[in-house]
């Protein structure tokens, strides 16, 4: 069987797909990965074969998404906001629509190349990242079954629609109609690594799949895998984030809190990508760094992790049984933080609430200390056990064969 995986992002959205892609290869299927040109090196580094389609993606939206006015729109979101899109008000809806518009632009750039490739290679199944609309367009045009792959988000975020089970937004409809596709077409189901404890119930059909951590080629983090003499806290950021931040933005709350935690006597380790480490010209006293690609190994030694709420980091921490503090920069990450808080396995601070707060770093430090002294560890271990009970990618690969053949 021929399977094409497709996504627009090298880290946050491609990395969660790698274990399933390899499970399909190990089962004897032909697997290719269609991605924009800037994602090709990540696919090759994972030992998979890439097909370049579309154009390089623009940088991800910055945390503030447009300054003080946007920061204000990030405050006080409902904990179940994906179920209440029509109730969010104009400023919040504009923020979400801007995210959709970005994905529509990426999809429009990807469709011609993906369609030409698929017409030639003739895949039996498309596995598309849930926010890669190009895969849905091509699935309908060629009549190829489609499975959507989630990246650890607690909900199926159908932001391209007016609400749960709602109608497509005008821009989404125009994308499909431009290529002669039906905007009502969708995946047969959603491959979901999020454990049930964290899921926000929605109407879409989900196929559970165990999150197997993958962060790119990694090296054993020497000196960090033994039992630490002091409680260890990991601090990490999204792949595209800049921990140092522009000078006029003031100190990053997570970075400043790392220094405060180290001063309190904790063993603090920053998990960073190469560009992030290069940008940090000075580390807080008592703080050290390691490669973020080995995060899954580091977190098994940590008493807590503080991060920005990306799906990959949240699922990797869940699989390790590590209590989490989420300092969320955007609505999706707010949802992750709130679901962790509700499950008792974490705490959540909204970046919008902390914007311009001189005590932001102290509040982050206090939230981490609260994690260390409270019952979050037991809930985090229960979450870990739930992750491990989900079907392994090898089992799901067999199910995909039945899906493609209509079994």
pLDDT, residue 165, reads: 79
Q: If you average pLDDT over residues 87-104, what whole number do you get?
A: 92
Run of H or E including 295: helix 295-298
Burial letters 346-377, b for 16+ CB under 10 A, else e? bbbbbbbbbbeeeebbebbbebbbebeeeebb
| pLDDT tens sequence across 116-175 | 999 999 999 999 999 999 999 999 999 999 999 999 999 999 999 987 778 999 999 999
End-to-end CA distance of the chain: 14
Q: If you average pLDDT over residues 94-98, what whole number do you get?
A: 92
pLDDT, residue 402, reads: 84
User: pLDDT class for 64, splitting at 50, 70, 90?
Assistant: very low
How many Å apart are CA 203 and CA 269, to the nearest integer?
40
Walk me through the domains of the chain, giving residue ranges and CATH numbers: 2-210+391-406 (3.40.50.2000), 232-388 (3.40.50.2000)
Q: Give just the sign of the alpha carbon dihedral 278, 283, 286, 287.
A: negative
Q: What is the pTM of this model?
A: 0.94
How many Å apart are CA 36 and CA 92, to the nearest integer?
29
Q: If you average pLDDT over residues 77-98, what whole number do you get?
A: 91
Q: Tell me which residue has tokens 């039996």.
A: 124
pLDDT, residue 71, reads: 67
Question: Mean pLDDT for the chain?
Answer: 92
pLDDT, residue 57, reads: 67
The pLDDT of residue 364 is above 70: yes
| pLDDT tens sequence across 166-189 | 899 999 999 999 999 999 999 999
- At residue 56, φ and ψ (nearest 5 deg) are -60, 135
Among 383, 296, 310, 311, which Cα is nearest to 346's?
383
């Amino acid at each position: 069987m021929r399977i094409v995986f497709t996504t627009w992002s090298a880290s946050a959205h491609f990395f969660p797909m790698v274990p399933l892609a390899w499970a399909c290869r190990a089962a004897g299927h032909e697997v290719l990965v269609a991605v924009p040109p800037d994602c090709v090196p990540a696919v090759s580094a994972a030992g998979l074969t890439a097909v370049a389609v579309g154009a390089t993606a623009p940088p991800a939206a910055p945390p503030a998404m447009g300054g003080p006015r946007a920061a204000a729109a990030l405050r006080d979101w409902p904990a179940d906001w994906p179920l209440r899109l029509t109730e969010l008000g104009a400023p919040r809806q504009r923020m979400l629509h801007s995210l959709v518009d970005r994905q529509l632009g990426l999809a429009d750039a990807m469709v011609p190349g993906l369609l030409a490739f698929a017409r030639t290679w003739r895949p039996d199944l498309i596995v598309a990242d849930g926010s890669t609309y190009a895969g849905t367009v091509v699935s309908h045009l060629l009549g190829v079954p489609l499975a959507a792959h989630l990246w650890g988000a607690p909900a199926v975020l159908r932001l391209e629609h007016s609400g749960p089970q709602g109608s497509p937004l005008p821009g989404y409809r125009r994308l499909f109609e431009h290529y002669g596709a039906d905007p009502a077409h969708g995946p047969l189901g959603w491959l979901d690594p999020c454990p049930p404890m964290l899921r926000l119930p929605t109407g879409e059909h989900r196929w559970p799949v165990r999150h197997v951590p993958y962060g790119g080629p990694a090296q054993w983090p020497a000196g960090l895998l033994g039992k630490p003499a002091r409680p260890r806290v990991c601090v990490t950021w999204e792949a595209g984030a800049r921990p140092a931040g522009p000078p006029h933005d003031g100190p990053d709350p997570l970075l400043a809190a790392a220094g405060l935690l180290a001063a309190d006597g904790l063993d603090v380790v920053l998990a960073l990508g190469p560009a992030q480490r290069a940008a940090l010209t000075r580390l807080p006293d008592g703080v050290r760094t390691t490669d973020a690609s080995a995060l899954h190994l580091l977190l098994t030694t940590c008493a807590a992790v503080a991060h920005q709420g990306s799906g990959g980091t949240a699922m990797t921490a869940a699989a390790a049984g590590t209590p989490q503090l989420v300092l969320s920069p955007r609505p999706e990450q707010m949802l992750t933080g709130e679901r962790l808080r509700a499950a008792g396995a974490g705490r959540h601070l909204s970046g919008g609430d902390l914007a311009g707060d001189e005590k932001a770093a102290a509040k982050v430090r206090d939230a981490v200390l609260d994690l260390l002294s409270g019952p979050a560890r037991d809930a985090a271990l229960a979450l870990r056990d739930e992750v491990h009970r989900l079907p392994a990618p090898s089992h799901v690969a067999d199910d995909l064969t039945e899906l493609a053949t209509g079994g």
